[in-house]
Structure 1
């Protein structure tokens, strides 16, 4: 029986060679905020290893005080030029590549060097701090702080749009809006982080406005080659609403997003590993995200993310529940996930979590570009 996973799929204006995507993985290997040759090698390896669609690590749309001090950006010409080298390398293998556009919102820190350089406060939908956080490169390893309420959200939407313009110049096939994991878009959606009383908060429609208006701005640049990643069940970065409110919020958002002609929407399933515990209780909203929401996307390809096995990928795609899947941790430790699956070889490299975010002193490629492909 032919593999459903390894059939081409048209997404927006491009066709990906298979339905196996590499999801965004923060790896802290840029030169400050500028992509570099080591990153080029990393993405080149994974395109050669059979990724049909690569989504870059979260890419900052403007200077921000992230917990990840060597996360890349896409707001200036130097960054654009270095990303172009990476997109060219990926395209040489027949793969496609999106960049994930990222604004952290309240989980930046005002004492981080990039936030100081930006000269602006840490902005969020409301002046409500997230619990947690550990900025190890700042003295005392402080946690998250109370942010400044964003006076005019359209200023950030304009930054997302400019980042899309820059991404197009850099040769990306499309852009994925990071709407998951407790970052800015997610903060607007979640009533525990967004308690505004203007048109950007309160009702389901108002809390979804920021995500939808940002998607529309990105479409003005990229047409159908725009996507969004969402984690309705996730508690990461102190997110999570009661179940019915979650269903109402994401149901509305997905119904409206389904009308926009997006290339795909990624839904991240619940993961206990990424769900923090506060006061003895997990923060997320445990439910079956795919069963709950897949019917809202009749006109938009659905990609499933989080803990997907090759066997499950075949079932999800073959049954029509999903158009494709994203894997993350498997791509971390295996540069050749696609080729291994096609050849029936095991995904048996063990990831080294001590080198996940930066390698070892003097060797940033350790645990990054030195994982072995199957012979």
Structure 2
């Protein structure tokens, strides 16, 4: 049976880098937080296998830490050692065996880490950022007193981190990923370099738009040197989350320049995160985000015909299909609905309701919870019932 009319456009194949994915549905990266002391677990492999069986065209991993960092999520996975690579190989094998493709989202938190977190202590280095400016907000629930963010140490030589991103890409290739996505959104290190409020440097990595975007572009070039056409980036121009956000005109100029330069690289795709209230934090009595129309503002600046565009944040299946039909996007990137429905893509295809209720309390498991129960709110969501005549 063909896809229902409202979502039919989502089910055309799409060339993404060197692979052709069977449909336009991307499972978005989220911090699902079920690793075993930074090593991807067998439970994670089952989670991703479920969503591959459920028909997703492209699956992007949890945010993957490229080096030890003191995150708010004690069970976030990494990719800096052989044990982690072996764990991710189980994940990619599970995804491929069940008919989908896998990208690893490479992640460095920068200033939104904490020096008292166990992993940061093991790393033996400070919390690094472009400038010694702390992010407002944040809460490290597993640390006594639930502290917020600290003033970071200036990253004197950003090329050190660029090399860590490159090594993470090498490790991701060894782990069997089809490509890598750079986490350039939501106030983490890449964003911190681009935002003039968090980057006050006076060297070649700060000041002008060209300098503030240099770090992102150099990281992308390093990733391309490993993965060729199979590199992507996720961007959130509206800001808000983790104390990000510039005035509108500066935001437009920064991201339009960045996308113009990115279009000179052989990237597989770009994910643009549109404004979402969920990602808009309040500081000093006002919201932080710079609200504007993301597609209208930036779509025309993605000029490489081989670089596809996915849209993310509060996206509905029929809405994504309509935007594809109109030529405004190439695919939809879905987070919470795909977390809550292992057969998310299949439900969209056959018109099944998205009626599983998100377990907010268990969406992100923190340190101290019982790993024996980590399947709850993770791999225990039911699939819909399908009659043989429907499929």
Which category of TM-score, normalised to the shorter sequence, fits these structures? over 0.9
> Does the CA contact (< 8 Å) of 1:64 and 1:104 recur in 2?
yes
Deviation, 1:109, is: 0.2
| Distance (Å, rounded) in 1 between the aligned partners of 2:19 and 2:339 | 25
The equivalences for 1:136-147 within 5 A come to 136-147=141-152
Partner-residue secondary structure (3-state), 1:354: helix
> For the Cα contact (< 8 Å) 2:10–2:25, is it kept in 1?
yes
What's the offset of the Cα at 1:272?
1.1
Cα distance per residue 1:5-45 (max 9 Å; x no partner): 00110111111110000000111110010001000110000
Q: Does 1:318 align with 2:325?
A: yes
State how far apart, in whole Å, the 1-side matches of 2:61 and 2:350 are. 26
Separation of aligned partners in 1, 2:327 and 2:24:
12
Q: Paired residue for 1:23? A: 28
In structure 2, what is the equivalent of residue 188 of structure 1?
Answer: 193
Structure 1 equivalent of residue 389 of structure 2: none
Q: Deviations over 1:281-300 (max 9, x none)?
A: 10010001111000011212
In structure 2, the residue matched to 1:12 is: 17
Contact kept in structure 1, 2:260 and 2:303, CA below 8 Å: no
1:234–1:271 Cα contact (<8 Å) kept: no
2-structure distance, mates of 1:7, 1:216: 30
How far apart are the structure 2 equivalents of 1:192 and 1:36?
38
CA drift at 1:318: 0.8
The answer for the alignment partner of 1:338 in structure 2 is: 345
- 8 Å contact kept, 1:84–1:170: yes
| CA-CA distance at 1:222 after TM superposition | 0.1
Q: Which runs of 5+ in 1 are unaligned?
A: none
Give every structure 1 segment of 4 or more consecutive aligned residues whose post-TM-superposition deviation is greater than 2 Å: 359-362
- 3-state SS of 1:298 partner: coil
Superposed CA deviations along residues 46-75 of structure 1, whole A, max 9, x for unmatched, are 111111000001000000001110000000
Does residue 1:98 correspond to 2:103, yes or no? Answer: yes
Q: What residue in structure 2 maps to residue 220 of structure 1?
A: 225
Deviation, 1:116, is 0.3
Pick 1 or 2: higher relative contact order, CA cutoff 8 A, min separation 6: 2
Instruction: Find out whether 1:229 has 2:234 as its counterpart.
Output: yes
- The aligned counterpart of 1:357 is 364
Aligned to 1:242: 247
Report deviation, 1:357.
Answer: 1.1
Q: Distance in 2 between matches of 1:318 and 1:261?
A: 25
Aligned to 2:312: 305
Does the aligned pair in 2 maintain the 1:34–1:73 contact within 8 Å? yes
Provide the C-alpha distance between the structure 2 equivalents of 1:298 and 1:213, rounded to a whole number of angstroms: 19
Match of 1:50 among 55, 59, 83: 55
Local SS of the residue matching 1:227: strand
The alignment yields a C-alpha RMSD, in angstroms, of 1.0
Instruction: Give distance in 2, aligned partners of 1:139 and 1:308.
Output: 37
Q: TM-score, normalised by structure 1?
A: 0.99
- TM-score, normalised relative to structure 2: 0.95
In the alignment, is the contact (CA less than 8 A) between 1:74 and 1:166 conserved in 2? yes
User: Whole-Å Cα distance in 1 between the matches of residues 112 and 53 of structure 2?
Assistant: 35
Structure 2: 5+ residue stretches without partners: 386-391
* Residue in 2 that maps onto 1:35: 40
Distance across 2 between alignment mates of 1:349 and 1:179: 30
Alpha-carbon distance in 2 for matches of 1:109, 1:246:
28
Moved more, 351-360 or 51-60: 351-360
Q: State the number of aligned residues.
A: 375
CA contact (8 A) 1:56 1:99 kept: yes
SS at match of 2:148: coil
Could you say which residue in structure 1 is the equivalent of 2:388? none
Cα distance in 1 for residues equivalent to 2:278 and 2:268: 29
Query: Is residue 74 of structure 1 aligned with residue 79 of structure 2?
Result: yes
Q: Shift of the alpha carbon at 1:332?
A: 1.2
- In the alignment, structure 1 residue 201 sits paired with structure 2 residue 222: no
Does residue 275 (structure 1) correspond to residue 275 (structure 2)? The answer is: no
Q: SS at 2:213's partner residue? A: helix
